[in-house]
Amino acid sequence: MLTKEDALIVRNHALKAIDELMTLFHFAKDKCSPQEEEQFKRGVGMSIGQIQMDILEVVNAQYPELDDLVDDQKESDSTNEFPS
């Protein structure tokens, strides 16, 4: 089991990897054919999905407080409430 400190380091590296993949996609998309763009999009999307499911979910299961999407979801839920 990861310590919380190690989990935070793993999480930060995973998020940096996602950021790098997005940078790669945005760089390449204007420099390639539409077919190549779709390949890049699929490859980047699948890679981000793998990072999310195979790395971040492990960290988040052990330390839910490190899951930045939980706070975003709570915030979104509170702003989407209908007035009484």
User: Is the distance from CB of 14 to CB of 70 less than 8 angstroms?
Assistant: no
All structural domains of the chain with their residue ranges? 4-63
* pLDDT for 75: 52
Taking the chain (84 residues) in consecutive chunks of 10 residues, what is each chunk's mean pLDDT?
96 97 94 95 97 97 88 53 50
Question: 72-83 in b/e burial notation, b at 16+ Cβ within 10 A?
Answer: eeeeeeeeeeee
